[in-house]
Amino acid sequence: MRFVSLALERYGHFTDRTLAFDREAVLTVVHGGNEAGKTTALAAIADALYGFEERSRFNFLHDYKAMRVSAELLGRRGETLAFRRLKRRAAALVDPLSEAALAEDCLVPFLGAHDRRAFLDIFGLDQARLREGGRKLLAGGGDLAEALVAAAPGLAPIAMLRDRLRDSAGQIFDPKRRVASHALYRALDRRDAARAAIRAGELRVETVRAARDARDAAAAARREAEAAEREARLALRRAETHALAFEDVGRIDRHAAGRAALGGLPALSAGFAPRARAALGAHETAAAAAARAAEEAARAEAETAAITVDAAVLARAEAIDRADETRAAVANEIEALPRRRAEADAARGTLAHIAGRLGLADVAALRAALPGAALLSRAAGLIDRLREQAVRREALAAERRTLAEAQAALEEERVRLGHAADPSEMRGRLDALDGAEERDRALRRQTARAAAEEQDLAERTRRLGWGLADADALAVLPLPDVAAAEAALALCRTARETRDRAVRTLAESEDALRLAAARIAAATAAGAVPTPAAIEAARTLRDALWQGLRAPATGGRAALPDDIDAAARLDAALAAADRLADERLTEAHRVAELAQLERARAEAEARRATAEAQVAEAGAAVTDAEAGWAALWREVHGIAAAGIAAGAEERLLAALREARTVLEERSRLRRERADQKAADDLCRAERAAVETLRTQLGLVPAGDGPLAMKDVREAVERRDARFRAASEVARDLARGAAEAAALRRREAELDAAAQALGAECAEVFPQVAVRPQAAADEARAALDLWREAPAAVEALRTAEHRIARIEEDRDRFAAEVAALAALLDLPPPDDPAAAIRRLKVRLDEARRAGARAEQAVEAAARRTRARAAADEAAARAAAGLAPLVAEAGLAAIADLPPLLARLDAAEAHDRAVAEARARLALHIPAFDEAALRADLAGRDEAALLAARLAAEGDVARAAAAHAAAIERHIAADHALAALDETAGAAAAAQDERDALAEITDAATRFVRDHTAARLLSSAIDLYRARHQSPLIERVSAAFATLTGGAWSGIGIDYDQDPPRLAALRDGRHHAVDALSEGTADQLFLALRVAAIEDHAGRAAPLPFVGDDLFVSFDERRTRAGLALLAELGRHTQVLLFTHHEHVVEAAEAVLGGRVQAIRLAGAAPDGAIGTAP
């Protein structure tokens, strides 16, 4: 199956993008830089074939309902299918044109039995999996079976399953060493612990009674300690309360004395103190503000009187400002006047120089004769034409000389080459022999290799030990089929293992039976065991004896002499029955142990019977299996008997496998010999043709040695080069003659043009002071002078105009300054600019004085208004204090602050007394101050402190005693509980049975997992045996290609157990773990490609999709890898995704037109992603 196209209609960040694949390309490289969408396009392949995943990560631009991809597939027989895949649960496949639903199984003919997982595992390979495969090769040391399975399509999960089963079995049991964490050993430990618990679980009545009495005594002691601690804590609380109350009572007395010391206070209304303080604050603030306002008003009036204003200058302010502005401009112009005069002089000098160069009398004549722009342009055109004619004449002369020299050289070369024949016919014959030398060399190598392989097969046949000379003798033997021999030997091994297990089981069951009998005897040796049956028998005997004595005891009959003995037996029976009943409580473990031993003996007898039957059955199976094995070798005389008699079935089977391999190699060599015969005929014909060519070319005959086609090609190339050179010389001579005739025509045309140009120059040049016969350079110089003159004339005119204007402005400014001086009664100034600067300074000072005077007047008015407002506020504040002073009965406002201080002190004393009494009421229930004072009478602070310390000591001792009592009580409880837990052996016996069940389960799981792992290992070995020969040969060639010949291939090192892959260099084996990481990656890629090619020969392949496979490859091995993928492209479509541009360039360089490059970065106009064949 191949992709014809893949359309990313609504997928990831793509919208209506299409990948069109070339059907003829052996390799398609899809290139996309970062963020270009390579990963998106890669994921779209699997989604198109198998449906969108339930939670797709490519819905960031298009939601799930809009997501869709389309594809067109080409089947192996040429059938096609176009479909569109939608993101929905039902009817997800539709026709891309009609939107009609397609059957869900319409892809089955194209996909076969491969699901998404199989497609990704078999036909997908990315850089991470390539590196993982390389690392596994290095870690495994090149294990042949592991390497083939790891690279084989879809078989890697088998190896992983085998490893999981092996690990699972190893977690249960390891026969090599005991590990406590293994499940089997954990169960064994639990069984031993249960048995120890049974032995240690015997319990006496006295022990239980003593533990119960100790527990009760500890509980009573705990209650007593708890009551003592409670009493101690109450005493401590009373002591602490008295200490705190002593401090508060003293505080009450101190503050009451302070309150009395303040004396009597006037009766005032509520809130008097805050109102008085607020009024006092307002009065003080208003008085201070009035004083500040009076001071500021006086200072403003003094500042106003100190300011003087120049009124005369202010009256002429506008004229002074205008004159000052004019002064700056006039000063700049006067400063520039010398420069302007220098510019005028320079312009006159330039014009005088130009007039002299042109032959004119003076500057005035020059200005009069100044030509116009049209005349100057016409003269310039004539000069350019003169110069062009001179250049053309020089060029024609140079061409004439060059042509003459070239013709002479060509003539000499024609004479030197002589006659040269056309070698086309020889080249055709040489092309027909393309590859002849390689075919001859390959035939020689094949012949030598075939001889060596035949010798190797003969040696391998002799090493079988069957007395055969070579593989031909082996071929006539009627050897059995390997699969049948393997099955027969496996049957023998299985039968023998089954028989051995049955024998071991029989021995174990007999040992268990003997052990159970011995344990029962030991258990009953110490006396009757109080089992339920023994107790029932004792009670039955007791009841029977009582029935015989009941009548005499109740007066039913007279006593007999025998009744005395019966009464004694009844007493003994009563004692025995009671003793057994009592012992049942204390010796429960003996009862349980005896019951368990009885069950174990019964089970052991049953297992022995079963094992005896199994031994007999297994023995018969071994006999049948050995007979079947011997029947396979019956017709191979002398081999079977030796193998069976010596017990060497395994060696015989290995020899059979080797023999079959030798026979397969013999068949392959015979086919290769037939192919070599046809190749030999072709090589002989090609050698005859080469000898003919060598003779015609004058070369030494090759004989039986190498064809040395390089010499033939070089000789033909030399003849071809000579023929081409002679042809080119003749063509160049003819071209030279044509060029000489063209030169003569061009010279005649140039002479006619020169005559016409001379007449026009005679008319124009005199008008610009140039001689009519002047050369182009002379005329150009005069023209350049005329072009300089207009600028100099304009510069002179401008300078003269500016000088006149400056002098006029200077005189007008002097007159304006003199007029201002007269108006201000000042003398006429000698320097008008300095005079106006002084007036400007005077004007600025007068303006600042006027501004200050205005500000001072305004400030004085504000200060006067502020003073009046402050005086009014002070009067209002004084009026507000009058009622308060009257209420307090004071004579003046100054008496109010001392009264407020006394009021504050009285309030503080009262508040402290109330807080102390509140604390006492909080800490002392039903607080009574008089009673409290009576309790504290005659006691000081030291006595109260000593009482509190003594109470704290009592509490600490009581608490420690209480804690110790609690610990003793808990310990006694635990001891009694431990005795209760060990009161019977039934629980321990159940633990033992549970442990035995776990041992059985662990053993069963170990056998299952271990056997499954061994079977999978055998299957892997079988796969290796069946596929290693063709695969190894293909992998060897691919590995040599990938490494560019650095490694000649791979082989199998049969000296290792198991056989291992080995890299070949110079005919020697090198271990795989000696390879670098990059080379190991390349070996894994070679294995994977060979495995896919082998798979393609057995089933319809899907496209192979690679992702950034060459990250660890250098440039040379990248090119080799691309060539290997192209070889895979002959079996199935190969799509290689990459981030790297150099991979695309390498593919195009190696494969040329056989590769298709798709770049995701640029889109074609029709929406298809740009493709390159």
Locate 1141 and state its tokens.
Answer: 């541009």
**Cβ pair 417, 729 in contact under 8 A:** yes
* Structure tokens, 1020: 């892997």
Give the chain's end-to-end CA distance (angstroms, integer).
20
Spatial CA neighbour of 1009 closest among 150, 161, 155:
161
Q: Where are the alpha helices (DSSP H) in 1043-1140?
A: 1077-1096, 1115-1128
Measured CA to CA, the distance from residue 232 to residue 221 in angstroms comes to 17
- 796-838 pLDDT tens trace: 788 878 888 887 777 787 877 788 777 777 787 778 878 778 8
Nearest CA to 720 out of 426, 467, 300, 1051 is that of: 426
Name the CA dihedral angle for 676, 678, 679, 681, rounded to a multiple of 10 degrees.
120
Residue 142 pLDDT: 42
CA-nearest of 1035, 1041, 1051 to 1094 is: 1035
Query: Using an 8 Å Cβ cutoff, are 519 and 597 in contact?
Result: yes
Instruction: Give the pLDDT of residue 523.
Output: 65
Number of C-beta neighbours around residue 330 at 10 A: 22
Neighbours of 931 (CB within 10 A): 11
| Cα–Cα distance for residue pair 1169/1173, rounded to 1 Å | 13
- CA–CA dist 144, 1032 (Å, integer): 10
Question: In terms of Cα–Cα distance, which of 672, 317, 636 is closest to 479?
Answer: 636
Q: 338 CB contacts (<8 Å, ≥6 apart)?
A: none
CA distance 689 to 433: 8
Query: Which residue in the block uniquely carries the two structure tokens 């699901």?
Result: 115
Return d(Cα 1025, Cα 1019) in angstroms, integer.
Answer: 10
Residue 936 in tokens? 């504290």
Q: Which ranges of 587-648 does DSSP label H, i.e. alpha helix?
A: 588-632, 640-645
**Please, are residues 375 and 767 in contact by the beta-carbon 8 Å criterion?**
yes
Alpha helices in 262-316 (DSSP H): 272-305, 311-315
- In sequence order, which residues have a C-beta less than 8 Å from that of residue 858 and are 6 or more positions away? none
Please tell me the distance from the alpha carbon of residue 1086 to that of residue 1080, in angstroms, as a whole number: 10
Which H or E run contains 1049? strand 1049-1053
**Rounded CA gap, 247 and 251, in Å?**
6
Angle between helices 562-586 and 588-632 (to 10 degrees): 70
Q: Which two tokens stand for residue 545?
A: 């004896």
Q: Of 600, 592, 604, give the one whose Cα is nearest residue 523.
A: 592
φ and ψ at 1051, to 5 degrees? -145, -175
| Sign of the CA dihedral with 1011 first, then 1013, 1015, and 1021 last | negative
- Give the H/E segment covering residue 242: helix 205-261
The residues, ordered by sequence, that sit 6+ positions from 300 with a Cβ below 8 Å of its Cβ are 856, 859, 860, 862, 863
Q: Token pair for residue 814?
A: 């002097």
CA quadruple 128, 130, 134, 139: dihedral sign: positive
pLDDT at residue 887, as a whole number:
74
The contacts of residue 472 (CB under 8 Å, 6+ apart) are 666
- Taking the CA atoms of 929, 935, 936 and 941 in sequence, report the sign of the dihedral they define: negative
Q: What is the pLDDT of residue 71?
A: 93
Sheet containing 68-74: which strands, arranged edge to edge? 14-20, 2-11, 68-74, 80-86, 93-94
- What is the structure's pLDDT at 82? 93
Q: Which residues of the chain have pLDDT under 50?
A: 141-155, 202-205, 640-646, 983-985, 1025, 1027-1028, 1162-1173
How high is the pLDDT of residue 1155? Answer: 92
Q: Would you say 331 and 814 are in contact if contact means Cβ atoms under 8 Å apart?
A: no
**pLDDT per residue as tens digits for the range 1113-1149:** 888 889 989 998 998 888 899 999 898 889 999 999 9
Q: Tell me the CA distances in angstroms from 1024 to 145, 210, 330, 854, one per residue in order.
A: 5, 76, 113, 117
Tokens at residue 140, please? 């495994």
- Computed over its alpha carbons, how large is the radius of gyration of the chain? 64
DSSP 432-487: HTTTHHHHHHHHHHHHHHHHHHHHHHHHHHHHTTS---SHHHHHTS-PPPHHHHHH
CA dihedral (993, 999, 1001, 1004) positive or negative? negative
Query: Residue for token digits 């509190």?
Result: 948
Q: With contact defined as beta carbons under 8 Å apart, do 96 and 67 qualify?
A: no
Find the farthest-apart pair of alpha carbons in the chain and give their distance in angstroms, rounded.
200
**Token match 């350049």: residue?**
784
Paired strand residues for 12: none
Beta bridge partners of 1134: 1104
